[in-house]
Amino acid sequence: MSGGTGPADGGTGPADGGTGPVRGGAETVRGGAGGTETIRGGARDDRPRSVTVRVPAKVNVQLAVGAARPDGFHDLANVFLAVSLYDEVTATPAEALTVTCEGPDADKVPLDRTNLAARAAELLAARHGIAPDVRLHIAKDIPVAGGMAGGSADGAGALLACDALWGLNTPRAELLDICAELGSDVPFSLVGGAALGTGRGEKLTELPVGGDFHWVFAVADGGLSTPVVFGEFDRLTEGTHVPEPAASPALLAALRTGDTAALAGALANDLQAPALSLRPSLAATLAAGTDAGALAALVSGSGPTTAFLVKDAESAKAVAAALTASGTCRTARTATSPAAGATILPD
């Protein structure tokens, strides 16, 4: 979820082509357990046949939104927490840049250059002066357009996967610069854990977390556009004083100590009111979760997924079952936090 009226982060899909392969006098030989072996100037370069990266969803445990800036974006104090719902992005050598997708709501994932995974491959290739010749396959499990940074996750996953596949060894700081160019939530998808995002949310300060937290996420039918939700925030706050966004000391302390009850009392999302204004039915979902025993409930990011903080794993199962039975959501998922950021999986 970006800090303004830029593209929503729910999109991940293939580019519909590429810029043509670069053949800089290299001979490629396939074979051997190590993968693809490329000979360049007499030196052998062993590279994997494919690279798969697992990347987590996020929940915003605090989302403080400032007034609209002249560029249309908003300054944020955005406390991210990565949760154990994951997409996997696999990069494989190809003649041109393509993206495929499978999993829940895969048909809603755009398969063109608006997809952040495709854009990540293009930006990384451009930095290194090579062609973005890769097939990106997304195994999707993060809700699409659900306020959980599914598109941003795929962008970060594709970036890391392509960097490893192409043997580029791009410095982490440069990868984070590319992430920020892709979108406000993408840097956190790479980093994971917990972090405070300022600026548009892309300037990260990693935060300590003293324990595990248990969550239930209620997935709604349809999505909400992040730019539209920010636009509704501007409409609802027009003519009022919007304070400068700042992280809550009580919330940061709750994360640091692993205090679930204290975190429940500190959760806050300035985009919840505009999300409810656009999708009033979410109020019934929030009520169903709290009635079932959740310690706290809030809209996740720009929605429409709703998040419920619970005491433990057993409570999570009970709340998820109650939400599913309530008929107020399409499905309910349990997860824990914090979770690691984008991670290359072993072969």
Indicate the burial class of 118 (C-beta count within 10 angstroms; 0-12, 13-18, 19 or more).
Answer: buried
Identify the active-site residue in 58, 105, 133, 154.
58
Residue 315's alpha-carbon distances to 175, 278, 332, in angstroms, are 38, 30, 13
* Phi/psi at 138 (5° precision): -105, 120
Q: How far apart are CA 226 and CA 10, in angstroms?
A: 9
* Catalytic-residue membership of 58: yes
> Distance between CA atoms of 301 and 62, rounded to whole angstroms?
9
Catalytic residue among 9, 87, 185, 270: 185
Torsional sign, CA 79, 84, 89, 90: positive
Strands 268-269 and 51-68: parallel
Strand partners, 58: 82
Longest CA–CA separation in the chain, Å = 68
307-313, long-range: CB < 8 A, 24+ apart: 307/59, 307/215, 307/216, 307/217, 307/218, 308/215, 308/216, 308/217, 308/218, 309/213, 309/214, 309/215, 309/260, 309/263, 309/264, 309/267, 310/214, 310/215, 310/216, 311/214, 311/260, 312/214, 313/214
In the numeric block, which tokens belong to residue 276? 């409810």
Please indicate whether residue 87 is annotated as part of the active site.
Answer: no
N-terminal to C-terminal alpha carbon distance within the chain: 32
How far apart are alpha carbons 26 and 262 in whole angstroms?
59
Query: Per the structure block, which two tokens stand in for 150?
Result: 């599914």
List the catalytic residues.
Answer: 58, 185
